[in-house]
Amino acid sequence: MTRGLTLPHSIWPRLEPGWVWLCGAGPGDPGLLTLHALNALQQADVVIYDALVQEDILSWAPQAEHIYAGKRGGKPSAKQRDISLRLVDLARAGKRVLRLKGGDPFVFGRGGEEAQTLVQHEIPIRIIPGISAGIGGLAYAGIPVTHRDVNQSVTFVTGHDQSGNTPGSLDWASISKGSQVIVIYMGMKHIAQIAAKLIAAGRPLSEPIAVVTTATTADQKVLETTLGQVVDDIAQSGMEPPAIICVGGSVLMRQVLDWQSQAAGQAPRNLDPLNRGRPAESA
């Protein structure tokens, strides 16, 4: 599959034995890998990958051993410490190690922790950023994470902390007031609590909200609703994680920018969803 995509080794970085490259795989669609990720896949002896990495991507590293380090089918997830130490062991054994994580390794992906352990064990590393679900996943749903007519700020939050609860350390009231658009990772389990907190902090019941599951894959599903309705609508839709949730006016832009439905032949629902009454290109 990669034959036509071979990168010239003379100008691309070499993954040397004993090194670990910590690499983002993007949100799902293999086309959203970076060229550095492809370069790494082509050279690795071992690829250690997470649950959210699409298996298609691994076929780009046929020469490598593929090691799964995530949670699937209800099995307990590999412990973070064990994964980090496994990376150390593989590097010390002289392998070219590619640690492949969903989205961007440094966005709610524990990449910082793994990288720190590697450096503490004197393993040389390279970091390869990826397209994070909170940006690229929303783009595939036709939702721009910023838009001049909507927001000058966006806040990325996680819906649960290390203990699995809604993060107690988050000041939801301040986030509600200060950030026009809020993008929530891992928010499905606690969506009822999160919605209640945002409403209590003054966000209106009519606030637009979108839920995008398995974004950028063939199974992508999008729910457009409101803060007041989101809990019921998710329950009714039967949608399951992984989901990225976007709260704020930029969700309305999907009415004009749902490019996947348009590619399938549907007309745009509304050419001016923010009611600006002027062509978008005028300042």
Chain positions contacting ligand SAH, by CB under 6 A: 27-28, 52, 101-104, 107-109, 132-133, 137, 185-186, 212-216, 241-244
Q: What angle do CA 195, 24, 80 make, to 5 degrees?
A: 75
Q: Report the nearest approach of ligand SAH to the CB of residue 72 (Å).
A: 14
Q: Would you say 96 and 15 are in contact if contact means Cβ atoms under 8 Å apart?
A: yes
Of the candidates 40, 277, 250, 54, which has an alpha carbon nearest to the alpha carbon of residue 154? 250
Q: Would you say 57 and 33 are in contact if contact means Cβ atoms under 8 Å apart?
A: yes
Q: Report the nearest approach of ligand SAH to the CB of residue 103 (Å).
A: 2
For ligand SAH, the closer of residues 95 and 115 by Cβ is: 115
For ligand SAH, the closer of residues 44 and 133 by Cβ is: 133
Q: Report the nearest approach of ligand SAH to the CB of residue 186 (Å).
A: 4
* Catalytic site positions: 50, 71, 186
* DSSP string over 5-34: GPPPTTTSPP--TT-EEEEE-BSS-GGGS-
Amino acid symbol at 109: G
Q: Report the nearest approach of ligand SAH to the CB of residue 95 (Å).
A: 23
Q: Report the nearest approach of ligand SAH to the CB of residue 209 (Å).
A: 14
Q: What angle do CA 253, 255, 261 make, to 5 degrees?
A: 120
Q: Would you say 173 and 201 are in contact if contact means Cβ atoms under 8 Å apart?
A: yes
For ligand SAH, the closer of residues 182 and 215 by Cβ is: 215
Q: Which burial class, exposed, middle or buried, applies to 82 when counting CB atoms under 10 A from its CB (0-12, 13-18, 19+)? A: exposed
For ligand SAH, the closer of residues 38 and 215 by Cβ is: 215
In the chain, the largest separation of any two C-alpha atoms, in whole Å, equals 64
Structure tokens at 168: 């107690």
Q: Report the nearest approach of ligand SAH to the CB of residue 243 (Å).
A: 5
259's CB contacts (< 8 A; 6+ apart) are 142
For ligand SAH, the closer of residues 182 and 244 by Cβ is: 244
3-class DSSP state of 263: helix
For ligand SAH, the closer of residues 61 and 212 by Cβ is: 212
Q: Would you say 124 and 19 are in contact if contact means Cβ atoms under 8 Å apart?
A: yes
- In the bound state, the residue with its beta carbon closest to ligand SAH is 103
Amino acid symbol at 247: V
Total Cβ atoms within 10 A of residue 10: 6
